[in-house]
Amino acid sequence: MFAVLRDLGLELYIMKDAAPPGFVDPQTPTKNEEAAVKKWHKGDAKVWTRIELAVGNTEMVHLSGAETAKEMWDQLCMVKEAKGRISVLATRHALYRMEADENNFDMVEHVSKLRRLQKELHLMDNKVSDEDFVMILLTSLPESWDMYTSAYLGSSGNKPTLKSHELIAILYEEDRRRKGRTTEATGSLFQAKSVLKGRGKTDSDKECYNCHKKGHMAKDCWSKGGGSEGKGPKGQGSGKGNH
């Protein structure tokens, strides 16, 4: 809004010392003095209109009681600054209190959330130093990362020496290593269970898919349709599944 007024040459009407010109002798003002006052009020009215057109209906209440464009501007600035301070406070609270959930923890998503909050604060002219961001990141990780972060802080004398982007790269690598180890362990456990399950079965438990009798498999079945059809001992019919 200020840029618009400046472009129109009207920014003087909202400056700190903005005021209509006075009279040397209020009892007998000169024509030049009256013309200057008239010109000032005309410019003030233009700024008034510009401000009213720029604000929404819900913000018009903040302009009540103002008698000049400067008073309107000052009242709006007070409201905006108060809202800005509240936004900064809420965002800083969210950043410094961020804690990752142990269940379904996603390192990339967690870091992205922290970066977004940091960027929001920077846009509100409330910068978070890189050193502070490193500490926020380390202390926001789940409990399962405590030993890792404690070892890192201990080696750096509780004062991080890495830049945030360097630390993030290290954390991403460690996260990938942990996920790979979990996947390997799950695969090994599944394989072990499969082997043990297979070992638990004896030949007498196996069922033939050809004759549906137990004690042999279809490839060894002597019955019709089996893999060893007609190869049974003499004296046993080929229609039987005995060996």
- pLDDT tens for 94-142 read 999 999 988 888 999 999 999 999 998 887 778 999 999 999 999 899 9
pLDDT band at 235 (very low <50, low <70, confident <90, very high): very low
- The alpha carbon torsion through 231, 233, 236, 240 (nearest 10 deg) reads -40
Query: What would the mean pLDDT of 207-229 be, rounded to a whole number?
Result: 80
SS3 121: helix
Q: Residue ranges per domain, the chain? A: 1-89, 105-183, 204-243
| Rounded-to-integer distance, Cα 117 and Cα 91, Å | 7
| Whole-angstrom distance, CA of residue 107 vs CA of residue 103 | 12
CB-based contacts of 59: which residues, under 8 Å, 6+ apart? 76, 79
pLDDT tens profile 15-34: 888 888 888 888 888 999 88
Instruction: With CA atoms as reference, report the closest residue to 50 among 18, 14, 78.
Output: 14
Can you give the pTM of this predicted structure?
Answer: 0.47
Q: pLDDT of 30-89, one tens digit each?
A: 999 889 989 989 988 888 888 787 777 777 777 777 888 888 888 888 777 766 778 888
Question: Which comes out higher in pLDDT, residue 110 or 218?
Answer: 110
pLDDT at 198 over 60: no
Residue 197 has pLDDT above 80, yes or no: no
Q: What is the pLDDT of residue 101?
A: 87
